[in-house]
Structure 1
Amino acid sequence: MSLFEPANTQRLDQDVVEQALQWMVTVQSGVSTEAELLACQHWRAQSAQHELAWQRLTGLNTDIRDSTRMLPAAGARTLLRSRNAPGRRTLLKGFAGLGVMLATGYGVRERVLLPELFSDYRTATGERRQLTLAEGVDLTLDTHTALDTRTTAAGTELFLSLGRVLVSAGDIRLSTANGQVLPAPRSRLVISHNLPWQAGTQVQVLSGSASIKLARGDSLSLDAGQQVTFDSQTDSTPRPVTVGADAWVNGLLIAERMPLGQVIAQLNLYRRGVVRCDPQVAALRVSGSFSIDRPDASLDLLTRVLPIRVQRVFGYWANVVAA
């Protein structure tokens, strides 16, 4: 019997699960005090539900301690001991997310938490946001996107530190850590940076054109229907735009012989909780249209067309494995 199918099938209140998750982050942070450890023990002893939630979480063997090693001990200690309860809750959930990303193999450096907390414009799990800037630029921010505005000698510039954005361009420049994108007037393009299934930056020109100045010194131009992915090392040869490049704006994921692992990685961005894909089935090819607004329904649809099944625990974790 797996950890995702416990012998005790008692359902747990979602608030209790989140409390257990917060206590686990605190205890495994490496900077918790003796008083906090005693408080955790007291919380566990308060009710059978508390202890059951704790035991199920610890049974998943996800060590959150690694996620806080990114921060200096003094900084982690200050944040974990914050007196602001809502801020502490948000922080602990953020640490938990970092721990989960480590456990699922995502590079934490590519998906840092801080830009999502402190950027000028940002979106939460499952959220998409439309903006119109003073420069006459219309933007649609995808889920888990962090975007900043900064003033340079050349004028206003947008900086995408994480996520994906649809740009209907006026006079604007948009940069990432890998380079600068300059859309032609009335162009429409999708720019993404450091997505879980994509290293570096990708630019997809849906209409019009764009020029790109790579941080490593190269320059290139893209016309409508072309896309390019680049970072400090990879080849930057333009290719045809992927089918359904902007389908996410309308709540859809269009897959055309897409590896199942990538489909799951995309659905994971829109779902509260964590979805993992077993490497044994990650290479299965998927074609079809899936809802990102209803990711669990999309997971169920996948089980009807592929030889896979979904193991769930708490309604929070999901594991896609061979049927």
Structure 2
Amino acid sequence: MSRFKVANDQPLDESVLDQALNWMVALQSGTSSAAEQQACQHWRNESPQHELAWQRLVGLSRDMRLNQVLTAPGARQLLQARSAVSRRTLLKGFAGLSVASALGLGVRERVLLPELFSDYHTATGERRHVRLADGAALQLDTRTAMDVEGARLTLNLGRLLLANGASDSRAIKTADGWIRPAALSRLIISHGLPGQPGTQVQMLSGSAQVEPSRGPRTQVEAGQQLSFNNLLSGQPTRVPATAEAWSQGLLIAERMPLGEVLEQLDRYRRGLLRCDPAVAGLQVSGSFSLDQPEASLDLLAKVLPVRVQRVWGYLASVVPA
């Protein structure tokens, strides 16, 4: 029996599966609000069919993470097939690959779990170094998904540090547009991080052209950072001195609200991490380990009037002491 196949083989209405998939996409986007999460939970509680559809989706995700059933090109081929085949034909393709025969999975314009369908991806708490054929070097942050096609990189989700090679034809694409760094430039590009709308470019050295999909170009020089969406970009500002700290496994906070600190640690910690609104505004300054998020939580409890409530090592809540 497949690891994700539930004992109850009850068929599910396609409309229910569609709703479950839409909720999963929204919550995996990295930008879902607390209200959306509560609304999803309410939807799950409305009907046993809703909850069963949700659990089957979660099971599919877990099974693919553990077993790597689909290669990245194979997954993308199935996703791209939506314009050429019917839903039923596409589902047969999934079933033939032993991925979703028990699920009845529909395909949407947005990828459900981009880290599963990308050429390179990192798990929670993982950082990864990649050397490209032309000599460029990359470091991928936790929960990052990226595709490579020649000199073009596509950052689907997360954050990367690029030390560009001697080529001046490099292009990095996100959902918001393009970044074209000069040869030998070093830069950090992030997309879809908590609290960060759109895409951000941080130039450590060299320069780059930023091109929103439907907006004017902007030149970004060494020491500058720029955030943009598909229509426009803001004004360049100074790159903080701590911009590279994550690549060394550190989170350096300078009068940062506790809620934001926990959002950062949450990306590196398996499970759920919550912050009581009563303490979310506490100011935090210090250096915290991203590689050991539990130790960082304990340190916060020592220097702030808070305590950490843990349940089975999975759920952690930071509440007033």
TM-score (norm: length of structure 1): 0.67
Q: Structure 1's 165 and 88: CA in aligned 2 closer, same or farther, altered over 3 A?
A: closer
2:216 and 2:232 in contact (8 A); partners too: no
1:149 Cα deviation (Å)? 1.6
Single out whichever of 161-170 and 281-290 deviates more from structure 2.
Answer: 281-290
Q: What are the equivalent positions in structure 2 for 1:1-323 lying under 5 Å apart? A: 33-34=9-10, 63=41, 86-87=63-64, 113-150=112-149, 156-170=151-165, 171=167, 172-232=170-230, 236-323=234-321
Secondary structure of the equivalent of 2:267?
A: helix
Equivalents in 1 of 2:263, 2:198: separation in Å? 16
1:66 Cα deviation (Å)? 5.1
Equivalents in 2 of 1:192, 1:85: separation in Å? 25
2:114 and 2:156 in contact (8 A); partners too: yes
Secondary structure of the equivalent of 1:311?
A: strand
1:242 Cα deviation (Å)? 2.1
Equivalents in 2 of 1:274, 1:296: separation in Å? 12
Q: Which amino acid aligns with 1:145?
A: T
1:273 Cα deviation (Å)? 0.9
Equivalents in 2 of 1:158, 1:66: separation in Å? 37
Equivalents in 1 of 2:222, 2:259: separation in Å? 29
Equivalents in 2 of 1:167, 1:89: separation in Å? 28
1:80 and 1:88 in contact (8 A); partners too: no
Equivalents in 2 of 1:85, 1:252: separation in Å? 28
Equivalents in 2 of 1:181, 1:259: separation in Å? 30
Equivalents in 2 of 1:213, 1:118: separation in Å? 25
Equivalents in 2 of 1:85, 1:231: separation in Å? 32
Cα deviation digits, residues 274-311 of structure 1 (max 9, x gap): 11112222222211110000001001111111121111
Q: Which amino acid aligns with 1:295?
A: P
Equivalents in 2 of 1:66, 1:226: separation in Å? 45
Secondary structure of the equivalent of 1:303?
A: helix
- Give the match for residue 34 of structure 2: none
Cα deviation digits, residues 135-183 of structure 1 (max 9, x gap): 22100000100001236xxxx3100010000000123111101111111
Equivalents in 2 of 1:234, 1:307: separation in Å? 42
Unaligned runs of 5+ in 2: 13-39, 69-107
Equivalents in 1 of 2:216, 2:299: separation in Å? 43
2:198 and 2:228 in contact (8 A); partners too: yes
1:80 Cα deviation (Å)? 7.6
Q: Which amino acid aligns with 1:193?
A: H
1:89 Cα deviation (Å)? 6.8
Equivalents in 2 of 1:245, 1:81: separation in Å? 36
Secondary structure of the equivalent of 2:241?
A: coil
Cα deviation digits, residues 85-117 of structure 1 (max 9, x gap): 9449779xxxxxxxxxxxxxxxxx9x9642111
Q: Structure 1's 273 and 81: CA in aligned 2 closer, same or farther, altered over 3 A?
A: closer
Q: Which amino acid aligns with 1:189?
A: L
Q: Which amino acid aligns with 2:197?
A: A
Secondary structure of the equivalent of 1:198?
A: coil
Equivalents in 2 of 1:289, 1:304: separation in Å? 14
Q: Structure 1's 184 and 89: CA in aligned 2 closer, same or farther, altered over 3 A?
A: closer
1:225 Cα deviation (Å)? 1.1
Equivalents in 2 of 1:286, 1:230: separation in Å? 28
Secondary structure of the equivalent of 1:227?
A: strand
Equivalents in 2 of 1:269, 1:318: separation in Å? 13
Q: Structure 1's 229 and 77: CA in aligned 2 closer, same or farther, altered over 3 A?
A: same
Count of aligned pairs:
246
1:216 Cα deviation (Å)? 2.4
1:310 and 1:318 in contact (8 A); partners too: yes
Q: Structure 1's 254 and 79: CA in aligned 2 closer, same or farther, altered over 3 A?
A: closer
Secondary structure of the equivalent of 2:280?
A: coil
1:243 Cα deviation (Å)? 3.0
Q: Which amino acid aligns with 1:220?
A: T
Q: Structure 1's 78 and 282: CA in aligned 2 closer, same or farther, altered over 3 A?
A: closer
